[in-house]
Amino acid sequence: MTAYRRPAGVVHSVVKESGMVQVNLSKGLDKAYEDKSLAEILAAPPSALAGLTPADDAALKQHLGIDTVAELGSNKYFALAGVLVALANKEG
């Protein structure tokens, strides 16, 4: 099995001396959402994520009942897939 790799540049974090973590999500977000708060992004439609479109919003709504980024991120099927990928990466 080929190990999954996170798309380059989508999420970049920096741990500062203060122990706080800064996360740069700009490459993972649609330009219209780059300056929004976390709460605004989570309440936004999935197309707020770079690469997804309003057509994807409609398909996610119709087939999985997903209306927001928060619902997408907490969906049990996507969560399970993420865990399986993480486990596969540990095996490799």
* N-to-C CA span, the chain: 8
* CB distance 57 to 46 below 8 Å: yes
pLDDT score for 17: 60
> Could you report the per-residue pLDDT of 29-63, keeping only the tens digit for each?
999 999 999 999 999 999 999 999 999 999 999 99
Q: In Å, what is the CA distance from 61 to each residue of 5, 44, 76, 83, 89?
A: 27, 13, 15, 23, 30
Least confident of 3-12, 21-30, 56-65: 3-12
pLDDT score for 65: 97
- pTM of the predicted model as reported, rounded to 2 decimal places: 0.74
